């Protein structure tokens, strides 16, 4: 039986993943054994025991401390994190886990050995409107917007989680901004969290969006067609703001299902003008570039954690055709703009080529 409760508590902590949700519309709670949560559903839950995550990222990016007995509004989602948790949306409203500090409720499937037990949640009910319709993040996504076309777009890809993608994207943004260019940025896949969005914004990008703006708590296990639609939606809104350059980060590594799907998709590849590839070590850098090359993408540069070692950089340079760039050097305007001059994508629109030419001419002036 599905029950509609009207005793919605007035005080609870909201997670970053729910930042677009209009909670004034959530006046009811749905519970009962017949409820089957879906990805993106907003759930009100009680913190039962604290584990790995002792804090919750709020909509403004602040880290709120969690205490046993706290009520939290988080979103159901699947989690893919090779360095943290793997989790799935449960099929019931029974006990579940907080598997990401950004506010993801799921049921743990596995975790990295350095992770502690997840923080345990007791779901009280799904947030619903006054008619009893469940509230989902997708209800609050950005409105449809067609890409205006022609804005040079840099895609940052990597070998895996924590390979240096976000740092590379942030530094590239900063280098371009320092050169006088307006930069729009987005993280188009991943697990909802405030850190990357804040990092891009701190570097000077405006506007900054992520997949939560497209209605996802997490893109893991989302149909590829939906992920592509979300990416186009974000790109359209970025282009409509009139930036000179757009920087997109694609989460996780080339073997992750959604990332692999995007890289292998000709339509997605056609949206990219430049590829920047981040890797943890020399071998993964060389092999990752080979994987991209076989998909028709040719990185303008390879960077990432391995560039902390001069020796590793020399090894990659000796075995890889792509240009190797130390991550810190991307902060330099000449280096960041140089990515545009050495475009590595195979398909560039006519408008995009003209914009690229205009930018390089300005740098040479």
Domain CATH number, residue 281: 3.40.50.300
Taking residue 211's Cβ as centre, other Cβ atoms within 10 Å add up to 26
**Whether residue 364 has pLDDT greater than 70:** no
Range name among 13-22, 131-140, 351-360 with the lowest pLDDT average: 351-360
Q: What is the domain count for the chain?
A: 2
CA distances from 84 to 99, 116, 160 (A): 8, 9, 12
**Do 352 and 233 sit in the same domain of this protein?**
yes
**Whether residue 350 has pLDDT greater than 90:** no
**Whether residue 160 has pLDDT greater than 50:** yes
**Predicted local confidence at residue 362, as pLDDT:** 52
Q: What pTM does this model have? A: 0.90
**Do 132 and 190 sit in the same domain of this protein?**
no
147 inside domain: no
148 inside domain: no
User: Domain end: 113, 140, 167, which one?
Assistant: 140
Separation of alpha carbons 308 and 112, rounded Å: 24
**Do 127 and 173 sit in the same domain of this protein?**
no
- Judge contact between 324 and 307, C-beta under 8 A: yes
Q: Which helix (H) or strand (E) holds 42?
A: strand 42-49
User: Domain end: 85, 114, 140, which one?
Assistant: 140
**Do 128 and 157 sit in the same domain of this protein?**
no
> Which residues have C-beta within 8 Å of that of residue 288, sequence separation ≥ 6?
157, 158, 159, 254, 277, 279, 302
Dump pLDDT digits (tens) for 231-269. Answer: 999 999 999 999 999 999 999 999 999 999 999 999 999
Separation of alpha carbons 200 and 260, rounded Å: 24
Q: Largest Cα–Cα distance in the chain? A: 71
Separation of alpha carbons 285 and 324, rounded Å: 10
Residues in the chain: 365
**Do 24 and 80 sit in the same domain of this protein?**
yes
Structure tokens at 90: 């449960």
Mean pLDDT, rounded, for 341-356: 48
The residue ranking higher by pLDDT, 322 or 177, is 177
**Do 183 and 294 sit in the same domain of this protein?**
yes
**Whether residue 72 has pLDDT greater than 70:** yes
145 inside domain: no
Dump pLDDT digits (tens) for 220-241. Answer: 999 999 999 999 999 999 999 9
At 352, is the pLDDT very low, low, confident or very high (cuts 50, 70, 90)?
very low
**Do 130 and 195 sit in the same domain of this protein?**
no
- Judge contact between 124 and 31, C-beta under 8 A: yes
Write down the number of H helices and E strands in the chain.
9, 18
At 27, is the pLDDT very low, low, confident or very high (cuts 50, 70, 90)?
confident
The range of the structural domain enclosing residue 187 comes to 153-364
**Do 17 and 58 sit in the same domain of this protein?**
yes
Structure tokens at 32: 């009962």
> What is the rounded average pLDDT for all residues in the chain?
90
């Amino acid at each position: 039986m599905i029950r509609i409760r009207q005793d919605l508590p007035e005080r609870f902590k909201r997670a970053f993943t729910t930042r677009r949700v209009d909670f004034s519309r959530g006046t009811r709670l749905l519970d009962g054994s017949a409820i089957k949560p879906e990805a993106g559903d907003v759930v009100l839950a009680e913190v039962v025991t604290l584990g790995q995550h002792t804090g919750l990222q709020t909509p403004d990016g602040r880290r709120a401390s969690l205490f046993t007995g706290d009520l939290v509004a988080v979103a159901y989602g699947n989690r893919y994190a090779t360095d943290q948790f793997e989790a799935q949306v449960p099929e019931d409203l029974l006990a579940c886990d907080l598997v990401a500090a950004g506010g993801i409720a799921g049921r743990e499937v596995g975790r990295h050995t350095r992770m502690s037990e997840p923080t345990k949640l007791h779901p009280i009910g799904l947030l619903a409107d006054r008619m009893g319709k469940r509230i989902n993040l997708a209800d609050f996504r950005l409105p449809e917007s067609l890409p205006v076309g022609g804005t040079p777009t840099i895609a940052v890809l990597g070998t895996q989680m924590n390979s240096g993608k976000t740092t590379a994207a942030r530094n590239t943004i900063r280098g371009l901004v320092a050169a006088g260019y307006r930069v729009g940025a987005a993280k188009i896949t991943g697990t909802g969290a405030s850190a990357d969005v804040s990092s891009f914004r701190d570097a000077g990008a405006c506007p900054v969006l992520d997949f939560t703006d497209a209605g996802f708590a997490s893109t893991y296990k989302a149909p590829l067609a939906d992920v592509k639609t979300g990416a186009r939606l974000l790109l359209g809104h970025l282009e409509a703001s009139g930036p000179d350059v757009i920087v997109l980060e694609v989460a996780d590594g080339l073997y992750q299902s959604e990332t692999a799907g995007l890289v292998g998709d000709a339509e997605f590849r056609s949206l990219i003008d430049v590829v920047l590839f981040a890797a943890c070590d020399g071998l993964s850098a060389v092999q990752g570039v080979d994987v991209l090359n076989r998909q028709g993408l040719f990185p303008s540069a390879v960077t990432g954690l391995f560039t902390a070692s001069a020796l590793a950089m020399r090894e990659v340079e000796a075995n890889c055709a792509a240009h190797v760039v130390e991550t810190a050097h991307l902060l330099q305007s000449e280096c960041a703009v140089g990515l545009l001059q050495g475009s590595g994508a195979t398909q560039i629109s006519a408008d995009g080529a003209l914009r690229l030419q205009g930018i390089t001419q300005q740098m040479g002036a």
